[in-house]
Amino acid sequence: MGEDMPLKMSGVSKWFGSFQAVRSLDFDVPKGSIVGFLGPNGAGKSTSLRMALGVLSPDRGEVSLLGAPPNLESLKRVGFLPEERGLYKKMSPRQIITYFARLKGLSNRDAKARADELLEMMGLGEFARSRVTKLSKGMAQKVQILSALAHRPDFLILDEPFSGLDPVNQQALEDLIIEEHKRGATIVFSTHVMEHAERLCEKIVMMARGRKVFDGTLDEAFAALGRAVHIGVAEGFDLGAALAPSGFEAVQEGDHWRVSLKPAQTSQDALRATLDSGAPITSFTPQEARLRDVFVSLVSDAEAQDLTDTLAADAAEGREAA
């Protein structure tokens, strides 16, 4: 398998004392993919990513990074953004990015040129030589992100990269991730804000309290939830019977009918079949599938509450920052 699978975790478990943070995790990252590692705080995401890098050793199971156990040579080809943010306060953004690029093997000249290129790209050119202490929290976070990808890594691991960024900078980071992917990088990012994964990922892994609850493509995730449209018709019309010949299943729910969609069916297919049946339509509302709904459908009530609590804490932090 080797480097066709830049990261492979097989039966990986980790304890901290009597607390099991990760439970028998099997997790593959195919070369050239963007994979979302999703779940609330405390789900085991950061611990798993640290084991992927060799920062922590698993108590059980095996980790393969770029075809071998994590080692100094393979780590030169990896860019990592840790969840805990921190920069050298007496240095400038240009110095910091140059420093990390040189650690990963770039020459001093190439490292400085790369730092200038990235800072201009992210709108930080005028702050290139300012002390980090003069930057806003969002600016400082962008500098740390740029430090992780300054050496054009083959494999990029970002732990909660969107946390603390305002919507404009979140979009800028999404654009940067897309550009890195186009360049050829394999990317894994963890997040509890699943909308980012909806826009960026080909594959997702969902975690809840240390265990994997889903591993597959976005389409497979939405199929697990079950897609549907809600159609209102004139009172007394039996939409279930009318749509049955077309292969749609419709169940009455109050003042409307819930029409289930199979993987190959779209909401427009359901609308066309309803019109063809002669049904007197009064309303038509597609049910938009969201990854958060998928997560909630797969976990216990307590695990679903973990996500709600994490998002609430995130919102509170955002209000304080504002």
Residue 316 inside a domain? The answer is no
Domain housing 147: 2-221
Residue 231's pLDDT band, with cuts at 50, 70 and 90, is: very high
Reported as a single tens digit per residue, the pLDDT across 256-311 is: 999 988 877 888 999 999 999 999 999 999 877 789 989 998 999 999 999 999 99
Residue 74 inside a domain? The answer is yes
Tell me: do 270 and 183 sit in the same domain. Answer: no
Reply yes or no on whether the pLDDT at 320 is more than 60.
no
Strand bridging mode 78-81 / 155-159? parallel
CATH number, domain of 260, equals 3.30.70.100
Looking at the chain, the whole-number percentage of residues with pLDDT higher than 90 is 71
Tell me: do 247 and 217 sit in the same domain. Answer: no
Tell me: do 144 and 34 sit in the same domain. Answer: yes
Tell me: do 251 and 215 sit in the same domain. Answer: no
Residue 95 inside a domain? The answer is yes
Residues 62, 235 contacting (CB under 8 angstroms): no
Tell me: do 29 and 143 sit in the same domain. Answer: yes
d(CA 307, CA 293) in angstroms, rounded, equals 11
Tell me: do 120 and 266 sit in the same domain. Answer: no
Number of domains the chain contains: 2
Reported as a single tens digit per residue, the pLDDT across 23-81 is: 999 999 999 999 999 999 999 999 999 999 999 999 999 999 999 999 999 999 999 99
Tell me: do 167 and 186 sit in the same domain. Answer: yes
Residue 314 phi/psi, 5° resolution?
-60, -45
Cβ neighbours of residue 250 closer than 8 Å, sequence gap 6 or more: 231, 239, 240, 242, 243, 257, 258, 259, 260
d(CA 204, CA 298) in angstroms, rounded, equals 14
pTM of structure: 0.83
Tell me: do 217 and 80 sit in the same domain. Answer: yes
Residue 1's pLDDT band, with cuts at 50, 70 and 90, is: very low
